Each structure stands twice: as C-alpha cells, then as structure tokens.
C-alpha cells in the first residue's frame, strides 16, 4: 500500500521586508544578504497573525477538496506555540469543523516538528488506510532587531494531507535519524525571540546532514545518483546550498548538474518568505514541484533538521499526475499580494509582537489578513475570527 502526501497548502502573511532595504538599514553590503545568506525577502507577521491562524489558512488552501469525514488525525508542529498547555491543533479543529473523534495534538522539536508529525501520520494511515491525516507546520521566526539572525526571519505555514493512494508524493519505508542534546538554537520560556549560537548551528546542521544521508544510502543500498532531487530544511537558502555541495561532491558532472538544478528550483519560495521553521522543508518541496519539471516516480530525498538537535533523512517517489494537485498561480499571487514594509514599519510591528497580545485586535477595514485571523484575548482566551 502506498501512503504519502496527497495535498499541500501554503500560507504566508500579507507583509514583507526586502533584504536590500534591511541591509542598508544595518550598514551591510546587500550582497551579504542576497548572495552570502541567499535571501531576498522575509514575510512579516503582524498582531493579527500567529501560528494557529496561519495554520488554518494553509489548510483551507485544499480543505474544500477533501472528504472531511475521513480525517482521523490532526497534528500541529510548531515552535511558535500560543499556549503552554492547550494544543494549537484544537483551535484549528474547531475552525475547520472537524468531528469530535479526531485524534489531535501538538508536537515540538524545533524545525523537526512537521516531519515528526508527517511520520506519525504515515504510520497512522498505514494502520487505518480508509482514514486521512492533516499535519501542519506553522511558525514565526524571530531573532531580534539588529541581530545576525535577523536576515533569516520569516513567517508562514504549510499544511499536508496524508492518505493512502496519495496523489503527490508516496513516502518510502524507512528513514535515518540522528540526535544529540546540544545548544545550537533554543527559545527559553521567558523569551519571545530565539537564542542561537549561529556559526555552531550551521556546522551541526551540515554534520547531521552527512551522517543521516550516508546512513540512509547504506540502509537502502542506494547511491547519490539514484536521487532526482534532494531537498532541505532551509533556515536560509545558503545553508541548503552548502549541504547540497556536500551531497554532490565526488559525483560526476551529470549528477552534479541534476541535483544542483533541482536544489535551485527548491529554494525560490524560501528565498521570498524566509525561515518558517517546521514548514521550511515542505516549502522546499512545494517550490521544487512548482519550478522543476520532474518525471513521475522520481526519487526525492528530504533532509529535516531541528535544532537541539534532531535530524532525519527520508524519501518519497513522485506520483504520476502530481502537477494536478498543485496551484502555482495561487501561491505566486499569495506572495505578490504582500505589502512591502519600510524597515521602520517592520521594526514597529516587531517591537509590538514582543508585547503581550491585546484584548481585542481591530482590523483596518481594507487589511487582507487571511480567511481566519487572531483577534486578541478575551478573559485570557485566544480568539480566532473568520473574515466576514
Ligand atoms: N557578498 C557576498 N557574500 C558575502 C558578503 C558580500 N558582500 N559579505 C559576507 N558574505 C558571506 C560570507 O562570506 C558568508 O558566507 P559563507 O557562509 O559561505 O562563509 C555569509 O555571507 C554569511 O556571512 P557571516 O558568516 O559573516 O554572517 P553572520 O555572522 O552575520 O551570520 C548566520 C550568519 C550565523 C547564519 C546568522 O544569520 C544566524 O545566526 N542565523 C540564524 C541561525 C541559523 O539559521 N542557523 C542555521 C542552522 S540551525 C537550523 O537550521 C534551525 C533553524 O531553522 C534555525
């Protein structure tokens, strides 16, 4: 039985900062951000956007095309959680009107959260092939104004429907996992911004990539040339480029060209949206499928990395006709509808985001905030509203 990804929905908020503007404001050469880091823009979440609202909006991208009654599992992976106790997934379940017997919870292991959810969903569907699972990754990456990590911020969500007989990517059995208890990136409970040992984190990422990629090929008795594409968690696109260089070193030029071309195709959405932590790898997948012409049955390798740190390499085969499940024009329009902020406007929004949420968030009349938005607190309970 084939189990895998049947639908992909993406969402990002309606504002962005251009990296050239940010570089000028921080007295950096723009090419450091554009080439050295590999980012062009970053989406910015204002007070109407949080992990929950973005996750609902990502799921709504495909929700009217699926059988609601078949959903047996809903998992929400995030490191931008809105409550220490109640799962973000319950707000989503309520907004989507899912039935009461759905198993639903939130998971956390930094950027690994959506992969953990996907693997759990894969195993769930194997046991319950007549049911489906929704898995959501949704995050706002915040490091702080003027920090080295600032250029690697972003905001957005990806939602996946996992089913038997999937129409996009059939997931293969097996995986190679590797973890260590380290402090490369973390966010303590008393902080709204991430702490990071930046240079160390970039090295650990590459080290974990080599370990898991090598182990996976050994486990499957596969070789680098068997992959039509390898895609990566992209905290910023240069990080994936470095991992891809490791993957293709010692390969002949045909393999190098193929995997370099597919990497280039996989990075466009991240270059414009920024780091969306849990969902970043799946933004790479969407970008690859929309920007490269891949043959049916092509083998795609996926490298997932979550600081702290946990990594996994796994793979899937593209399903014939996968293009029919995509909507590149709507994805493009979602990026193009964003309003460009000045750096001063972004800094104001950022500073406000570090405060506690307001009691009632009033919408500007012409503001496009997604189908659902965060409407502030009432009696310390988060309110989510549907735009009328
Ligand atoms: N033109 C072209 N390139 C230039 C340049 C110019 N004018 N000026 C500098 N560069 C290049 C540098 O040579 C360097 O390239 P290499 O990495 O190939 O050597 C690159 O630009 C970056 O320069 P620096 O290393 O000097 O940058 P920095 O010290 O300001 O910080 C960073 C970079 C450490 C990545 C920082 O942005 C950061 O801390 N980011 C957050 C942490 C992160 O994303 N880590 C990734 C691994 S952890 C993970 O994956 C989980 C997660 O999502 C966070």
CATH for 62: 3.40.47.10
**What are the tens digits of pLDDT across the range 190-233?**
999 999 999 999 999 999 999 999 999 999 999 999 999 999 99
> Are the C-beta atoms of 313 and 302 separated by less than 8 Å?
yes
pLDDT grade for 35, boundaries at 50, 70 and 90:
very high
**What are the tens digits of pLDDT across the range 286-296?**
999 999 999 99
ipTM over 0.85: yes
pLDDT for the residue numbered 276: 98
The dihedrals phi and psi of 269, each to the nearest 5 degrees, come to -65, -40
Going by their DSSP bridges, the two strands 154-164 and 132-141 should be labelled as antiparallel
Q: Is the pLDDT of residue 367 over 90?
A: no
For residue 373, count other CB atoms closer than 10 A to its CB: 27
Q: Is the pLDDT of residue 56 over 80?
A: yes
Q: What percent of the chain has pLDDT over 70?
A: 100
> Are the C-beta atoms of 283 and 302 separated by less than 8 Å?
no
pLDDT grade for 359, boundaries at 50, 70 and 90:
confident
- Pocket probe for ligand 1: among 36, 179, 185, the residue whose CB has the most ligand atoms within 8 Å is 36
89-104 average pLDDT score = 98
Q: How close is the Cα of 40 to the center of ligand 1, in Å?
A: 14
Residue nearest to atom 17 of ligand 1 (CA): 36
Q: Is the pLDDT of residue 27 over 80?
A: yes
Distance CA 224, CA 214 (A): 9
Residues sharing a CB contact under 8 Å with residue 228, sequence separation 6 or more, in sequence order: 258, 262, 294, 295, 298, 299, 300, 318
Residues that constitute the known binding site for (3S)-3-hydroxy-3-methylglutaryl-CoA: 29, 143, 242, 275
Q: Is the pLDDT of residue 365 over 80?
A: no
> Are the C-beta atoms of 78 and 91 separated by less than 8 Å?
no
Q: Is the pLDDT of residue 52 over 90?
A: yes
Residue 273: is it exposed, middle or buried by C-beta count within 10 angstroms (0-12/13-18/19+)? buried
- Pocket probe for ligand 1: among 148, 245, 306, the residue whose CB has the most ligand atoms within 8 Å is 148
Q: Is the pLDDT of residue 364 over 90?
A: no
pLDDT grade for 352, boundaries at 50, 70 and 90:
very high
Q: Is the pLDDT of residue 242 over 80?
A: yes
Nearest to 364 by CA among 56, 12, 15, 60: 15
Q: How close is the Cα of 369 to the center of ligand 1, in Å?
A: 31
The mean predicted confidence, pLDDT, of the chain is: 97
Q: Is the pLDDT of residue 166 over 90?
A: yes
pLDDT for the residue numbered 298: 98
pLDDT grade for 360, boundaries at 50, 70 and 90:
confident
Range of the domain at 43: 3-386
130-157 average pLDDT score = 98
Q: How many domains does the chain have?
A: 1
pLDDT for the residue numbered 135: 99
177-189 average pLDDT score = 98
The dihedrals phi and psi of 12, each to the nearest 5 degrees, come to -145, 150
Q: Is the pLDDT of residue 187 over 80?
A: yes
Nearest ligand 1 atom, CA 199: 34
Q: How close is the Cα of 37 to the center of ligand 1, in Å?
A: 5
For residue 329, count other CB atoms closer than 10 A to its CB: 9
What sign does the dihedral 327-328-329-331 (CA atoms) show?
positive
Residues sharing a CB contact under 8 Å with residue 13, sequence separation 6 or more, in sequence order: 43, 44, 45, 46, 49, 54, 155, 156, 338, 369, 370
pLDDT for the residue numbered 108: 98
The dihedrals phi and psi of 74, each to the nearest 5 degrees, come to -135, 115
Nearest to 101 by CA among 63, 69, 130: 69
């Amino acid at each position: 039985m084939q189990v895998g990804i049947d639908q992909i929905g993406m969402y990002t908020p309606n504002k962005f900062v251009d990296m050239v503007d940010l570089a000028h404001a921080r007295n950096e050469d723009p090419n450091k951000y554009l080439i050295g880091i590999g980012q062009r823009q970053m989406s910015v979440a204002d007070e109407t956007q949080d992990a929950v609202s973005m996750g609902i909006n990502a799921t709504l991208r495909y929700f009217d095309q699926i059988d609601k009654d078949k959903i047996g599992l809903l998992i929400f992976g995030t490191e931008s959680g809105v409550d220490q106790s109640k799962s973000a997934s319950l707000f989503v379940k309520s907004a989507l009107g899912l039935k009461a017997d759905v198993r639903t919870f939130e998971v956390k292991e930094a950027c690994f959260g959506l992969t953990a959810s996907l693997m759990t969903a894969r195993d769930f569907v194997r046991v319950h092939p007549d049911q489906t699972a929704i898995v959501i990754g949704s995050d706002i990456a915040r490091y702080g104004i003027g920090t080295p990590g600032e250029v690697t911020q972003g905001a957005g969500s990806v939602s996946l429907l996992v089913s038997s007989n999937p129409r996009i990517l059939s997931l293969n059995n097996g995986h190679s996992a590797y973890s260590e208890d380290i402090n490369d990136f973390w966010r303590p409970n008393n902080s709204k911004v991430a702490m990071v040992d930046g240079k160390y984190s970039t090295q650990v990422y590459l080290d974990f990539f080599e370990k898991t990629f090598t182990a996976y090929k050994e486990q499957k008795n596969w070789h680098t040339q068997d992959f039509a594409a390898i895609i990566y968690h992209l905290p910023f696109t240069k990080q994936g480029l470095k991992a891809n260089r490791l993957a293709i070193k010692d390969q002949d030029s045909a393999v190098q060209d193929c995997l370099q071309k597919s990497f280039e195709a996989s990075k466009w959405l991240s270059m414009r949206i920024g780091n969306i932590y849990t969902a970043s790898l799946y933004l790479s997948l969407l970008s690859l499928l929309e920007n490269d012409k891949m043959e049916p049955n092509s083998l795609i390798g996926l490298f997932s990395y979550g600081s702290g740190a946990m990594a996994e390499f796994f793979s899937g085969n593209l399903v014939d006709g996968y293009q029919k499940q995509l909507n590149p024009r709507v994805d493009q329009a979602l990026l193009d509808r964003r309003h460009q902020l000045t750096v001063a406007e972004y800094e104001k929004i950022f500073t406000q985001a570090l405060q506690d949420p307001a009691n009632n968030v009033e919408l500007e009349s012409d503001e496009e905030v997604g189908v659902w938005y965060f409407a502030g607190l009432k009696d310390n309970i988060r309110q989510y509203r549907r735009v009328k």
